[in-house]
Structure 1
């Protein structure tokens, strides 16, 4: 067992509930200093993988490919040791995303992700053909405090083994329309999409009575299956931004962006010319993904 491996009890709980943690990663003073270093680099796209401006919803995608502090973060042993007990010895990081929630922002609607085809209907990850169910492991790190007041994550435990949505339907990107929705007295959306359009059963409604709020101090992280039903609360504070950084992992046997040279989300089509997966544990014996060994500034990834 490695230093930060999940215990037998933690692994059993993860398999039952679909999530584990929160776990400590950075001390509060440490994450404050790290965030101070990261924040100005988020606005510098001179080496970013995607040719976007900072107004795009996707501007926070895959910044581990050009920001050294995030390149180091995705391979931290506190994270990877625990992932090996879930995904096996050969693991790749295929995506990362910044999730800011500013004062007054609405919550995120309940959703699941299996192939991440929800925005365009095209699969972004494909597990081997002998695997019935896929998804990815998300490691969500709190760069600031995440509380119920400023919009922490919520999970419905045990919902990770059944998909209630059909991602192949795709969704229309309509931020002006969706952001006006007010469901059950709580303003929610899905970054300009209405996730209910993917429901297999139009009358389906997640059982919020079983939901748990995942509050975290700055510097902690939570591990969960992307197929777990999850959402976030609105930020009802006046001056407390909530910022999370999600890094996503799959076994190296999974194909990432198979047979495509670009992907479409949030009204933008993004070229994958500068994209590559990062091996964070073991190696990539399948050889079907483009692997990058250093980021776009020349920083070497640890593995």
Structure 2
């Protein structure tokens, strides 16, 4: 077995194969019939025509090979040697440029982390005092499907609650970010990541400009910025995060190779192209994942199965790093690094984290403030955009591209 095969097997550890997920899924008779008919149609098309020759369908690997050789070329000018504080040393910056990861490092005490975790749980139970910033129409749909969690109710809530804003404004985070991105920084999204006992893992993904469910990328740099440094994520553990309850996993240095993200979006946009060369069983899995599930990570897992076959040297020299963290610790990383998390196999431990996504003021945050797209079991819905914006966390806004909201204050 090659190193690449071993890496792929290790990346899949803890995840249920797509075929098993499909067979376990409770589908109505009508949905099963539509699924079978769609797979048969795709099989017939594959047998009798070359999909790439049909009008509007294109070769999905057209630009994928170009998405290599990315670099983390940091733009920071504030360093520990000159400014003290929590700014990084030049050696630490050089290490980040190699791996795309800083940390874990301490931000909060164990006691403060526990208090914030309980506070977040209480607010979720009360729908964050009756105001869900992604829109109240989404919550009832997700509740009916049994999918509602703080992962959704807590999105952007650092804009309203000073205790969470204070964490994401903490100098231990913002000083380090300034050493990497530059002095003028905004927090463009905050969210919680919760894994209750028995929760599935979060499948491997890679994102540079955060297109996600939108038709266009959310983050648009004013200059030709390498996608590995358009934005950085600070992930703060509010509870202990270990392998058993779902800690983060990374492929350090994988920001250099953006072929996974590029092909994933090309296949997502050209779903018939994604089905080329697949067996009937694989076609069934693909139609189910792409058309009959709402979770982005289920789709990502199916696309992963396709992409590793299409790009035989992908992950060839990768090394997987599991990052366990104590409550109150933080890790900063570029989301162009392939990353995932384990399932929570514990009986009683809930893993909770608060994450901030940061970029520079010259980047236009587009779809978020114009009304983003949220996928539900009952179709796509547009985010409410009232009350959503960015917060200045370091330096100042010299561009005026984005809505900058004041930091919430106690009282």
The TM-score, its normalising length taken from structure 1, stands at: 0.85
**1:196 deviation in Å?**
4.8
Q: Determine which structure has the larger helix proportion and give its number.
A: 2
- Could you say which residue in structure 1 is the equivalent of 2:194? 100
Q: After superposition, where does 1:189-208 map in structure 2 within 5 Å?
A: 190-194=296-300, 196-197=302-303, 203-204=310-311, 206=315
Match of 1:63 in 2: 157
More strand by share: 1
Once residues 93 and 112 of structure 2 are traced to their aligned partners in structure 1, the CA distance between those partners, rounded to angstroms, is: 28
SS at match of 2:97: helix
Q: Does 1:291 align with 2:404?
A: yes
On the 8 A contact 2:194/2:350 being kept in 1, the answer is yes
| Whole-angstrom distance in 1 between the partners of 2:165 and 2:367 | 23
Change (3 A) 1:11 1:129: closer
Match of 1:49 among 133, 140, 156: 133
In 2 relative to 1, CA 282–260 (structure 1 residues): closer, same or farther, beyond 3 Å? closer
**Equivalent residue, structure 1, for 2:325:** 216
Distance apart, 1:237 and its partner CA: 1.0
Aligned residue in 1 for 2:107: 25
- Is 1:36 the counterpart of 2:145? The answer is no
**Distance in 2 separating the partners of 1:87 and 1:248:** 12
In 2: Cα distance, 1:8 partner to 1:64 partner = 31
1:118-197 equivalent positions in 2, closer than 5 A: 118-133=212-227, 134-164=229-259, 165-166=261-262, 168-169=265-266, 171=268, 178=289, 190-194=296-300, 196-197=302-303
Deviations 1:141-197 (CA, angstroms, capped at 9, x unpaired): 00111001111000111111331212644859x9xx559xxxxxxxxx755533553
Structure 1 residues not aligned, in runs of 5+? 180-188
| Structure (1 or 2) with the larger CA radius of gyration | 2
Change (3 A) 1:62 1:192: farther
For residues 207 and 348 of structure 2, the distance between their equivalents in structure 1, rounded to whole angstroms, comes to: 31
- TM-superposed CA distance for 1:246, in Å, is 1.1
1:7 maps to what in 2? 89
Residue number in structure 2 paired with 1:112: 206
Q: Given that residues 203 and 297 in structure 2 are in contact (C-alpha distance below 8 angstroms), is that contact kept between their aligned partners in structure 1? A: no
Counterpart Cα distance in 1 of 2:224 and 2:114: 44
Give the superposition deviation at 1:123.
Answer: 1.1
Distance (Å, rounded) in 2 between the aligned partners of 1:153 and 1:207: 21
Asked if 1 retains the 8 angstrom alpha-carbon contact of 2:289 and 2:302, the reply is no
Which position in structure 2 is the counterpart of 1:183? none
Query: What is the Cα deviation at residue 93 of structure 1?
Result: 0.2
Report the 3-state secondary structure (helix = DSSP H, G, I; strand = E; otherwise coil) of the residue aligned with 1:266: strand
Alignment length (residue pairs): 286
CA–CA distance in structure 2, aligned partners of residues 171 and 65 of structure 1: 32
Does residue 86 of the first structure (1) align with residue 86 of the second (2)? Answer: no
TM-score by length of 2: 0.64
**Cα offset for 1:34?**
2.4
Q: Distance between the aligned counterparts of 1:78 and 1:125, measured in 2?
A: 25
**What is the deviation of 1:216?**
0.2
Moved over 6 A (4+): 198-201
Paired residues of 2:196 and 2:344 also in contact (CA < 8 A): yes
Q: Is 1:229 the counterpart of 2:324 in the alignment?
A: no
Choose 109-118 or 217-226, whichever is displaced more.
109-118
Per the TM alignment, residue 234 of structure 1 is displaced from its structure 2 partner at its CA by: 1.1
| C-alpha distance in 1 between matches for 2:216 and 2:301 | 16
Distance 2:256 2:317 in 1: 17
CA separation of 1:191/1:229 partners in 2, compared to 1, >3 Å: closer, same or farther? closer
Distance 1:36 1:247, change over 3 A: same
Q: CA deviation at 1:86?
A: 0.3
1:275 paired residue number: 388
Does the 8 Å contact 2:221/2:363 carry over to 1? yes
1:262 to 371, 382, 399: 371
Find the residue that maps to 1:139 and give its secondary structure.
strand
C-alpha separation between the residues in 2 aligned to 1:88 and 1:14? Answer: 14
